[in-house]
Amino acid sequence: MANVGLQFQASAGDADPQSRPLLLLGQLHHLLRVPWSHVRGKLQPRVTEELWQAALSTLNPNPTDSCPLYLNYATVAALPSRVSRHNSPSAAHFITRLVRTCLPPGAHRCILMVCEQADVFASACALARAFPLFTQRSGASRRTEKKTVTVEFFLVGQDNGPVEVSTLQCLANATEGVRLAARIVDTPCSEMNTDTFLEEINKVGKELGIVPTIIRDEELQARGFGGIYGVGKAALHPPALAVLSHTPDGATQTIAWVGKGIVYDTGGLSIKGKTTMPGMKRDCGGAAAVLGAFRAAIKQGFKDNLHAVFCLAENSVGPNATRPDDIHLLYSGKTVEINNTDAEGRLVLADGVSYACKDLGADIILDMATLTGAQGIATGKYHAAVLTNSAEWEAACVKAGRKCGDLVHPLVYCPELHFSEFTSAVADMKNSVADRDNSPSSCAGLFIASHLGFDWPGVWVHLDIAAPVHAGERATGFGVALLLALFGRASEDPLLNLVSPLGCEVDVQEGDMGRDSKRRKLV
Active-site residue list: 272, 346
User: Which residues are registered as beta bridge partners of 241?
Assistant: 215, 311
User: Vertex 31, ends 30 and 33: CA angle to 5°?
Assistant: 70
How many other CB atoms sit within 10 Å of the CB of residue 213? Answer: 16
DSSP 53: H
359-365-370-372 Cα dihedral, nearest 10 degrees: 100
Contact 415, 442 (CB under 8 A): no
Q: What is the CA radius of gyration of the chain?
A: 23
User: Vertex 184, ends 182 and 190: CA angle to 5°?
Assistant: 140
Among 495, 505, 490, CA closest to 257:
490
Three-state DSSP at 372 gives coil
Q: 3-state SS of 113-158?
A: EEEEHHHHHHHHHHHHHCCCCCCCCHHHHHCCCCEEEEEEEEEECC
Helix (H) or strand (E) holding 209: none
Helix (H) or strand (E) holding 396: helix 391-404
Cα 161 to Cα 393: distance, rounded to the nearest angstrom: 33
Three-state DSSP at 228 gives helix
For 242, phi and psi rounded to 5 degrees? -125, 145
Rounded to the nearest angstrom, the gap between the alpha carbon of residue 248 and the centroid of all alpha carbons in its chain is 24
> What single letter denotes the amino acid at residue 329?
L
Contact 242, 312 (CB under 8 A): yes
How many other CB atoms sit within 10 Å of the CB of residue 45? Answer: 10
For 506, phi and psi rounded to 5 degrees? -125, 145
DSSP E strands, 187-324: 213-216, 240-246, 254-265, 305-315
